[in-house]
Amino acid sequence: MLGETDFTHVVDEIKTLQPDVIINTLNGQSNIAFFTELYKNEINSNKIAVFSTSIDENSIKKIDSKALKGHYISGAYFNSIDTVANTELKKEYKKHYGKEFMLTDAGFNLHVAFEFYKRAVFNKKTTQEKVLLNEMKNDSIKTAAGIFYIADNNHIYKSVRIAKIKEKGTDVVWSSNNLSQPKPFSTFLNKNFWINEEKKLYKKWNQSWHAEANKGEYNE
């Protein structure tokens, strides 16, 4: 859910059901409204913990710390990862972008993707997309958040972490022992359904994976 700001009815339902935990998949500004409404209704982490999948460490600074303290977020990367490599990485980013800059999970994933791309370009001496994609398959990189590995289907295996939100920052409280296998297809429908849908879009977009937004193709 993106852009929703009225969570009165949702919080009323939560108060009625009293779940053990809330799985939050909201995005963007909706998270601010949701946690504000929870806190207004005196629902904190001591009463019902919220596990969020789409809040990064920059976003939590925009929400009242009292409303977020004790709740949980997930990701592959957190600033609180206590390794020498992560300390050095954060220093480099702050050096270039300022002392207040905070590297997020999404930003870190972009950083790693560029490292894969850079290595493929240097190895193959070309920027041709198909050549580079093939070169990156089965490649792996040791990062500040552990090993990242690109599988044959172009999806990345990586470690997964859960962090607890503090009044300032986060603490990683759980890390996967092994690399997490990516699951690109929703289990709610058959894999073949999604593959066929992809093929339809590819054909509709003139043998391209990019829709022409100015023609309203995203809204159909």
The separation between CA 71 and the C-alpha centre of its own chain, rounded to angstroms, equals 17
The CA distance from 144 to 103, in Å, is 12
pTM of the predicted model as reported, rounded to 2 decimal places: 0.81
What integer is the mean pLDDT of 148-164?
94
Q: For residue range 101-143, what is the model confidence (pLDDT) as tens digits?
A: 899 999 999 999 999 999 999 999 999 999 999 999 999 999 9
Mean pLDDT of the chain: 90
Q: How many other C-beta atoms lie within 10 A of the C-beta of residue 76?
A: 22
What integer is the mean pLDDT of 14-22?
96
Token representation of residue 24? 């939050």
The CA distance from 213 to 130, in Å, is 24
Q: Which domains does the chain have, with CATH numbers?
A: 8-80+160-175 (3.40.50.2300), 84-156 (no CATH), 190-220 (no CATH)
- Binned at pLDDT 50, 70 and 90, residue 212 comes out as low
Is the pLDDT assigned to residue 220 strictly greater than 50? no
Distances (CA, A) of 205 to 154, 164, 194, 202, 220: 21, 42, 16, 5, 13
Parallel/antiparallel/unpaired status of strands 161-165 and 72-75: antiparallel
The CA distance from 78 to 189, in Å, is 32
Range in 39-43, 80-84, 97-101, 212-216 the model is least confident about: 212-216
Beta bridge partners of 142: 147
Is the pLDDT assigned to residue 92 strictly greater than 50? yes
The CA distance from 142 to 77, in Å, is 13
- Binned at pLDDT 50, 70 and 90, residue 219 comes out as very low
Q: Provide the pLDDT for residue 2.
A: 59
